[in-house]
Structure 1
Amino acid sequence: MSLPAVLLAAGSTPSPSPSESETPSVPSIQDAHESATQAASWVEQNWSTWLAIGLKVLLILVIAGVLRVVIRRAITKLIERMNRTAQAVDGTAIGGLLVNVERRRQRSQAIGSVLRSVASFVIMGTAALMVLSAFDINLAPLLASAGVAGVAIGFGARNLVTDFLSGVFMILEDQYGVGDSIDAGVASGEVIEVGLRVTKLRGDNGEIWYVRNGEVKRIGNLSQGWST
């Protein structure tokens, strides 16, 4: 067979037609209408449920916010009243009445800060659990995960937690205050500020010592029990 005949035969071979599976399916207007109808039906059936959940969540958040503000203000007013009604006591050797006023002020502020933080944590934590419960979320896995995360965070921040708790008990027990001369083991001097985490001391040469409350294993108060 000659070459022109071969080329002619090849050119006359019909090309394969695309199969039905290769043809892209285009959604019809009827399919779109059915989808829209199903969506509208779902919204109509469930809108009342979602509206009730939304109102419940909003109510929880509003009550939690108002309760938090009221309790924090009540604690602040209580601390201020304690400061106003506290009777003056004998001062220390280097400050008299002003030292006692500053001592009571710092102590009451520290106690008020602890109470406000605890109240906020309890209120907002309870509100968060109630919101999750409103969405029918299983709280058991979340609480388990939170427990594991809390242990990990507590282990990593154990020094900070120790300092904080030690400061709380030092303030509540009134182990020392502003103006006292103390020997804290790691440093000694006059107390110029008592915080929840750190106590500031002024040394004999005027230097300022920042002593972490968790590092204080013993305290010798050279001013407590002596009158001026």
Structure 2
Amino acid sequence: MPRPAALFPLAADTPDASQTIRETHESVTNAASFIEENWAGWLYLGLRILLILVIAFALRSVVRKSLTKLITRMNRGAEAVEGTALGGLLVNAERRRQRSEAIGSVLRSVASFLILGTAGLMVLGALDINLGPLLASAGVAGVAIGFGARNLVTDFLSGVFMILEDQYGVGDKIDAGVASGEVVEVGLRVTKLRGDNGEIWYVRNGEIKRIGNLSQGWATAGVAVQVKPTESLSHIREVIQGIADTMAKESPWDERLWGPVEVLGLDEVLLASMTVKVSAKTMPGQQFAVERELRWRIKDSFDSAGIGIVGGLAAPAEDEAPADPSAAVAPPSALANPASPQSLATAAIPPPAVGGQGSGPRITK
């Protein structure tokens, strides 16, 4: 028995089920055809991108491990040399370690940037993305970032060149203009110095315009001794030569002295004193310790030899006869006596009398 249409008001408005199924079938067929036609290209593109990334990360890992192994080998070589007598003089293991680590950090960063940057460009090229506008935009953005962070870039580049050129290292005594002291740490952006009073200075590498390294090559220790002008110069030379021979045989001065202690001669001759100049070539950074030791030994030896040392003050004057106290008194003046001719000559002239008989001529009409 058929059901009335009034009971199903939506049945008349519903599309035909067969038509809906047919449209769905066509959509699925078109999608399947599109996938069947392009799946090979997608698979090739995916495999290509995956291969690029795998090769890039593998190459980056190999390069970083190689650089790390090279830096470790350099540090081991520095530690081995440090144990020898020559290494104790010329090699600072901490300085070489920080320098090699800084160079290794720069090389690893540059290698990672080049490898990953090249891989990224290859991936974008595989995706058929036009790199021209992208590179132009990146160039403009790079210029803007570089202009805003120019101080940071300057510090970084200055630090790289300072480390590569080995201008200074850990343990060096330097004068950087804005600060001076012993180098505690060398970084790519900041150099850490310890001042003479123990303070720590953080100096940006870009602010260092000049560097005076007091620890490279060799140094000179100079001592000036003031003695009495009556002392024998040959005796003074003999005493100082004995001090030099003794220091050259004792530790640690035999290592700190890189040359003989020499008497350069008279630096100054005065009436009350004469100055003898003593000099010696020393290890870099050890000149102040050698100067203090030389002064100590010279003072001790001169006292034993009876050689008098004159201080910085002027010599006292010899005893003289006391001055006559009356010499400071002025002689008596003739003007002090009012009856003297000099006093009378300087007396005031009295004024003429008015109305008296003896007042002089009178003028009448």
TM range (shorter): 0.7 to 0.9
**Equivalents in 1 of 2:45, 2:201: separation in Å?**
55
**Equivalents in 2 of 1:119, 1:217: separation in Å?**
29
Residues 25-104 of structure 1 correspond to what in structure 2 (within 5 A)? 28-86=20-78, 87-88=81-82, 100-104=92-96
Q: Which has the higher contact order (CA 8 A, sep 6+)?
A: 1
% identical equivalent positions: 77
**Equivalents in 1 of 2:150, 2:129: separation in Å?**
32
**Equivalents in 1 of 2:91, 2:170: separation in Å?**
6
Q: Which residue of 2 aligns with 1:12?
A: none
Rg larger in structure: 2
Alpha-carbon spacing, 1:25–1:107, altered in 2? closer, same or farther (3 Å):
farther
Task: Name the aligned partner's letter for residue 39 of structure 2.
Answer: W
Secondary structure of the 2:92 match is: helix
Residue 119 of structure 2, aligned match among 127, 134, 137: 127
Q: Which residue of 2 aligns with 1:194?
A: 186
Q: Which residue of 2 aligns with 1:153?
A: 145
Question: Displacement, 1:85?
Answer: 2.9
Q: Which residue of 2 aligns with 1:107?
A: 99
Residue 140 of structure 1, aligned match among 132, 138, 143: 132
| TM-score, length of structure 1 as denominator length | 0.82
**Equivalents in 2 of 1:64, 1:225: separation in Å?**
45
1:206 matched to 2:198? The reply is yes
Q: Structure 2: which 5+ runs fail to align?
A: 1-12, 219-282, 287-365
**Equivalents in 2 of 1:24, 1:102: separation in Å?**
86
**Equivalents in 2 of 1:68, 1:105: separation in Å?**
23
1:177 matched to 2:176? The reply is no
Q: Cα deviation per residue 1:9-51 (whole Å; 9 max; x = unaligned)? A: xxxxxxxxxxxxxx99998332222111111110010000000
The structure with the greater share of residues assigned to helix is 1
Q: Structure 1: which 5+ runs fail to align?
A: 1-22
Q: Is the 8 A contact 1:181 1:191 kept in 2?
A: yes
Question: Displacement, 1:98?
Answer: 10
Question: Displacement, 1:108?
Answer: 0.1
| TM-score, length of structure 2 as denominator length | 0.52
Q: Which residue of 2 aligns with 1:164?
A: 156
Q: Is the 8 A contact 1:99 1:178 kept in 2?
A: no
